[in-house]
């Protein structure tokens, strides 16, 4: 199965990168702990157990964490990766996933992928927890999106 040539839409890629960061287990745990810390400091401040300065510091930490994961990290990854400025075509076969552009291509056997997830606009194909490739659903027309989803389900065994 071959997709149409596709390019990456910046807003959709930023959303997909946010989705990636927020779904990581270590980031979820850190966000939960920081939120619990922020609520605890708000409660302690309300009952006058800590100073306003301590509450201000904890609020600042919470705010910076949210800004980092929501804005800084996705934009830094987008800006650093030349991939998002290119035009590609994806080819899904029984043996491999292939991505190609006007200059050439690269193939990966299905066993090289550790897992995959689906976000509103992309399929995220993971090699490991930090390395992944996103394929826009827009690359597939009509029922080809469902066909691609079925190929990913069949070929990439979630570990």
pLDDT digits (tens, 9 = 90+) for 112-132: 999 999 999 999 999 998 899
Residue 62's pLDDT is what? 85
Residue 117's pLDDT is what? 93
Cα first-last separation, the chain: 25
What is the edge-to-edge ordering of all strands in the sheet holding 132-136?
115-118, 122-126, 132-136
Q: Hey, what CATH class is 84-155 in?
A: mainly beta
What residues does each domain of the chain span? 10-80, 84-155
The burial of 52, by beta-carbon neighbours within 10 Å (0-12 exposed, 13-18 middle, 19 or more buried), is given as: exposed
Residue 159's pLDDT is what? 56
Residue 1's pLDDT is what? 85
Residuewise pLDDT in 10s, the chain (159 residues): 888 899 999 999 999 999 999 888 998 898 898 889 888 999 999 999 999 988 898 889 889 988 998 999 999 999 999 889 999 999 999 999 999 999 999 999 999 999 999 999 999 999 998 899 999 999 998 899 999 999 999 999 765
């Amino acid at each position: 199965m071959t997709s149409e040539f596709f390019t990456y839409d910046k807003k959709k890629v930023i959303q997909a990168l946010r989705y990636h960061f927020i779904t990581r287990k270590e980031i979820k745990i850190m966000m939960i702990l920081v939120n619990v810390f922020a609520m605890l400091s708000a409660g302690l401040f309300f009952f006058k157990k800590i100073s306003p300065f301590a509450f201000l510091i904890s609020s600042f930490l919470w705010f910076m964490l949210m800004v980092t994961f929501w804005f800084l990290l996705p934009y830094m990854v987008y800006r650093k990766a030349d991939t998002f400025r290119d035009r590609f075509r994806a080819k899904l076969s029984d043996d491999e996933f292939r991505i190609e552009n006007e200059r050439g291509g690269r193939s990966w056997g299905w066993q090289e992928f550790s897992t995959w997830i689906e976000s509103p606009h992309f399929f995220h194909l993971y090699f490991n927890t930090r390395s992944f490739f996103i394929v826009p659903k827009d690359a597939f027309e009509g029922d080809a999106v469902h066909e691609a989803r079925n190929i990913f389900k069949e070929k990439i065994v979630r570990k």
